[in-house]
Amino acid sequence: MASRWSAENAAKAYISTLNMGNEAKSKEIDLDESQFISALAAGYNARLMVVACADGLDLTAVALAAAARQTGGRVICILRGHDQIEPSKHVLGLYESDINNVEFMVGEVGEILLNDDDVSRADFVAIDCNLQNHGEIIQALMMEERRVKDMFVLAYNYGFIGGSSSAGKWGGGVRVRLLPIGGGLMMARVKKAKKNIGVGRSNWVVAVDKITGEEHAYRITSPNN
């Protein structure tokens, strides 16, 4: 993922999502969330985007397909069953998306996100919080030690507190941002894993913020020497 923000890519992806087919217009679907996600991925020049959908391909996947058109990237959509592939392709056609930049993988989301070599190189990952074990998946993803590049993690249908945005922490001290857009978005930028040379044992330390009462977990490693 590029470190510089591309306003041009973001604007083009936003407009592309805004004009997504007559299907959305006829159903009066609110595209605000999709426009934001598409502009976000394209603005950061994401080249490999992965989306884990709870119930077949959804508007988030369509939005990422629009972003991939601007960045020259591709989208991997993780589905739970082979029976969801053809209906998902049909949805892409309804929204006039380029099906050639969308690939499908079928299986358990956590297993694919953490163990597939191709997926591990993703720089933008979106996870549907309607997935039963989404919390464990997100936390494991953020703590992954084999991550080879910076990654943007987006959890959608996340919900939000009090109808307003708030900042917080996720596993390992990763700072997140919660936004009241659509069904609620949780966003975090995770740095690539650092290679440890001559590392010995590691321990988890939990620190409690005396002001907010929040608990933050940190892993402390000790050199062999």
Q: What is the pLDDT along the chain (225 residues), one digit of tens a residue?
A: 555 666 666 666 656 665 554 444 444 445 678 888 988 898 889 999 999 999 888 989 999 998 998 899 999 999 989 999 999 988 888 776 667 889 999 999 989 988 888 888 899 999 999 998 888 888 888 777 666 678 889 999 987 644 444 455 555 567 788 888 888 888 888 877 665 444 445 555 556 666 666 666 555 655 544
Tell me, yes or no, whether 202 lies in a domain. Answer: no
Does residue 217 lie within any of the structural domains? no
| 107, part of any domain | yes
Decide if 206 is inside a domain: no
Residue 129 belongs to a domain: yes
174-179 and 185-190 strand pairing: antiparallel
215 within some domain? no
Task: Please say whether the beta carbons of 6 and 31 come within 8 A.
Answer: no
At residue 188, φ and ψ (nearest 5 deg) are -155, 140
The reported pLDDT for the residue numbered 26 is 45
Is residue 131 in some structural domain? yes
Q: What is the CATH number of the domain that holds 70?
A: 3.40.50.150
pLDDT recorded at residue 200: 47
Domains of the chain: total: 1
Whether the CB-CB separation of 41 and 49 falls below 8 Å is answered with yes
Spatial separation of the C-alpha atoms in residues 92 and 72, rounded to whole Å: 17
The one-letter amino acid at 42: A
85 exposure class (CB count in 10 Å sphere: 0-12, 13-18, 19+) = middle
Domain region containing 132? 7-196
pTM of the model: 0.73
**146 lies in a domain?**
yes
